[in-house]
Structure 1
């Protein structure tokens, strides 16, 4: 993807801010032309005074002061308008980023560290500020201001001097900043990728610190971080070399623009005042030339960041809304018919021709060893993913024909490692149903056996919950997540190892309370605790993505097959 495409993309999504950005451009043009005028007037008046002409000192001071004040006002207007556009556009892009990311989850977030996505949503979007606040005004002024100043010089002063300095000014504006553009673009892309890799590595380390220490992997993780840092350092060094070479070329051209008019101007008989005014114009144009050099450096990083943001914003959701939506029936029987699911890049399917039915208004269990496909099966029901082949139905209706909002309101999935948002306990419980009453929240907490804990909290439902639930224990976190699902009043509840951190007695208590909470609720529980499954419960056993057994737990225990072997492993 090239910079022109990225420019079109950024402008397309922020075109409502262009009128204000135009004000910033006009203010910059006028301000920089006044900057040229300020130096030219000062040099011209001093030259005339040196030649013995009668010059009004206070009149000259007044003119210079008026130009300076107006220039300062225009500079303020340029910065105010430019940065208003920049920060408003960044807010718009950040909202757009999350709006487009949500339909892509969980597929877009699978295998991608949360810290890396956070890097794109925060620092990468922040770097795009350069495009809005420091790109269009400098780019236009770097062409218009030198062209205007040199044209005036040729008409009002000496056309020969204007023709002498014009090539050097053009080279300083065009060659130095743009000649190495492709190299700086590639280098900026490598720097942006390096930052993302380090953010992802650190995010994984922070979240998995206990596991890293427990398995003695601290040295290996540090070595990986050193390698990522070395790659970033290498990318930064390459970018620095290109920028240094470009700056050196610009300095040489600026020096030539001073020396050449002095030598050539004297040889062609130009007056001293004309030569001095020419030099004043050249020096005054250094600022516009420097402006484009500065913004090209930042612009490459900005475009590299924009490319990373665009990959998320323009990402196509794996799961699409139905073209002809229909409603879910009251019957909550869940059926998978010859379902196969393969993750991108996987050697074998996670589910292979799975056919199973979970009866409505009953508590069914799904068991199997780690990696057997249990969580994949669970994610297909609320359409976290769609199967490669086969059909998932609820009440006989293909879930792909149900609007996603309705499907995910009627089907609640509670994972083994749930996430809490920073806020109060009540805020987190109401996540799926903001209009729930306090009494409903308390009832849900009673159902998951947290009523005693809630009663002991000084602030009750207003108790702050730390980000990711760090202020509560693992077992409490799982039960709060289960209570949150109950508050949303689903028809089907999927528990993906959602009680795994509870002891056996507490787990039985929660299950008993949950069974009494709503006898119309269809529950599908994924569990490794085969020993806790009652004999009359319907059980499906998965192994390597295939159904190997199905029936009541009592029948399967008596059969001494896969389920019995799993139970023996737990014991």
Structure 2
């Protein structure tokens, strides 16, 4: 089979799905957060509307006085004053609306960020990071238009519309009736278009989210993509997402574009009717020229709120499409939802109480997370195979089986326990369960004799120093990464820990020292340096229990030995739970737990397991330890 055959990206939507919808009622809380400012805007809008409504009346008087040859007196100056005041009020109102619109975007982003960072880990497994980023960045921006395009000054516009309508009734009700039909048809047409705009906007925002996710994925794995010769295919896949976003944007443009001609036709038709019918009535002496001019000015004042209303309908429709995606995240449960009433760990546990105990633990990843993880792992495996990279650690989750099946073991206080076994045996999942990234499907995990589900998550996690298998490094500096779990640590505290894990040369080679930038995802550090930095971060926090997942997998022999010495030094008086593929790093552990396909198949020391457990003996034989 040709390796150049096109491959469907796992991030591409398999079928069209209806996006989340929001109602106008869900938009109101965002507006009510700024109700004090909105009340001021409404008052200013009313004042501006009153000043504007008086202007046609004054202009009518000016025309009548000119026709009668009378002096204008102070009418002109009064008219000028009203125009200036109305303009000044309008400018200040515009500023308040712009500022409040920006504040709504800011507050919605704060809510989203707070929600996202407290979501269960399973949500991150099931969702694309780029799509979540798009909701924070792009979708929230759509809320800005709600205030800046006519909704917030609706009170003033309503008054302007009603005032103009009443004035026109008094001037010439017959002339008014001649244009009512045109205006009603325009309003109904725009109302019907708003639903189409909302749906099209929701689809557009979803497609933009997919595009953001695709770009982030391609850039994040750019080295693997280049090494696999997959650059053109990735470009085609991301370009396809961009094309889908373009197509959705065109739908929004088509629906929105129809609003403009509807409003334009309504205005022009109204003017033509007024000029035709009004000219006839002036000729017949039913109305005066001054009254007709005043009527026309009021017609403009009535159409202005309608135009604003049409714009508001469009902007609200777009905002509700984006708000549906925002609300979908805001409605997700938090990690802490459903937690039990928190208990408190005893200050000192009994000496015979294990630091950590697993009792018949079974676990299966949530279905959505399994599907997403499987897609990512399959793509990673395919790219790595094409690039002739190591694929041993890449295994897609088995959707049919549990990850852990009745796991029971203990980690004594102050001892070192190692978890070993082939890839996919469930070793990393055990550490994830201890950190409560997930909760067991069945069984119990205890910390110092207390069920960890009874403990506050922050208190629980503060007792662990967790070093992940991939050793992620945050963009920023070495100091930023070190202080992630120890924000109050001084430079004097940080430097010895860095030298302890053999990172002294990294801070010595740069004049910035511990403030040396590490680049995006730690790209300016080697894999081993990133791993050592992650271990240094855990050591700086000095927790009573260390959880190390393949903590020396990226290290060479010399650095591995130094790392083992550093861990030995800080392990004094601490409890360690270590995962390792290289048995040479854990043969001296107090206890070794052997896992296979989610089950414990052996426990004991190295020498005991060589005698009692065939799987361990086979692993040791392959690594020349027996």
Match of 2:240 in 1: 227
How far 1:500 sits from its partner (Å)? 2.0
Closer/same/farther in 2, CA of residues 564 and 275 from structure 1, 3 Å limit? farther
Match of 1:93 in 2: 108
Per-residue CA distance 1:119-151 (angstroms, 9 max, x = gap): 222222222222344453244444332112111
Match of 1:75 in 2: 90
Matched, 1:285 2:302: yes
How far 1:163 sits from its partner (Å)? 3.5
State the distance in 2 between where 1:225 and 1:517 align: 47
Closer/same/farther in 2, CA of residues 115 and 330 from structure 1, 3 Å limit? farther
Match of 2:380 in 1: none
Per-residue CA distance 1:57-87 (angstroms, 9 max, x = gap): x855533432221122111221222233222
Moved more, 341-350 or 395-404: 341-350
Closer/same/farther in 2, CA of residues 221 and 370 from structure 1, 3 Å limit? farther
Match of 1:163 in 2: 177
Alignment of 1:283-322 (within 5 A): 283-320=300-337, 321-322=339-340
| Secondary structure of residue in 1 paired with 2:40 | helix
Match of 2:539 in 1: 486
Match of 2:445 in 1: 392
How far 1:478 sits from its partner (Å)? 1.6
Q: Answer yes or no: is the 8 Å Cα contact 1:44–1:277 preserved in 2.
A: no
Q: Answer yes or no: is the 8 Å Cα contact 1:33–1:145 preserved in 2.
A: yes
Per-residue CA distance 1:479-510 (angstroms, 9 max, x = gap): 11211112222111111223221113312211
Match of 2:345 among 319, 327, 352: 327
State the distance in 2 between where 1:543 and 1:369 align: 7
State the distance in 2 between where 1:301 and 1:360 align: 58
How far 1:384 sits from its partner (Å)? 0.9
Match of 1:248 in 2: 261
Matched, 1:471 2:559: no
Q: Answer yes or no: is the 8 Å Cα contact 1:447–1:517 preserved in 2.
A: no
State the distance in 2 between where 1:110 and 1:180 align: 38
Q: Answer yes or no: is the 8 Å Cα contact 1:429–1:484 preserved in 2.
A: yes
Q: Answer yes or no: is the 8 Å Cα contact 1:319–1:384 preserved in 2.
A: no
Closer/same/farther in 2, CA of residues 537 and 210 from structure 1, 3 Å limit? farther
State the distance in 1 between where 2:52 and 2:578 align: 73
Match of 2:228 in 1: 215
Matched, 1:350 2:350: no
How far 1:340 sits from its partner (Å)? 1.6
| Secondary structure of residue in 1 paired with 2:539 | helix
Match of 1:114 among 107, 111, 129: 129
Matched, 1:262 2:279: no
Q: Answer yes or no: is the 8 Å Cα contact 1:135–1:299 preserved in 2.
A: no
Match of 2:359 in 1: 337
How far 1:207 sits from its partner (Å)? 0.6
Match of 1:365 among 418, 435, 443: 418
Match of 2:487 in 1: 434
Moved more, 159-168 or 230-239: 159-168
Q: Answer yes or no: is the 8 Å Cα contact 1:319–1:385 preserved in 2.
A: no
Q: Answer yes or no: is the 8 Å Cα contact 2:20–2:202 preserved in 1.
A: no
Q: Which blocks of at least 5 consecutive residues in structure 1 are unaligned?
A: none
Closer/same/farther in 2, CA of residues 316 and 126 from structure 1, 3 Å limit? same
Q: Answer yes or no: is the 8 Å Cα contact 1:365–1:538 preserved in 2.
A: yes
User: What RMSD, in angstroms, separates the aligned Cα atoms of the two structures?
Assistant: 2.8
State the distance in 1 between where 2:417 and 2:332 align: 36
Per-residue CA distance 1:311-333 (angstroms, 9 max, x = gap): 22221124444314222554562
Matched, 1:184 2:197: yes
Q: Which blocks of at least 5 consecutive residues in structure 2 are unaligned?
A: 1-17, 371-398
How far 1:188 sits from its partner (Å)? 0.7
Per-residue CA distance 1:169-224 (angstroms, 9 max, x = gap): 4444x324312121111111000101100001111111111111222322332232
Match of 2:552 in 1: 499
**TM-score normalised per structure 1:** 0.90
Moved more, 206-215 or 243-252: 243-252
**TM-score normalised per structure 2:** 0.83
Closer/same/farther in 2, CA of residues 68 and 19 from structure 1, 3 Å limit? same
| Secondary structure of residue in 1 paired with 2:207 | helix
Match of 2:385 in 1: none
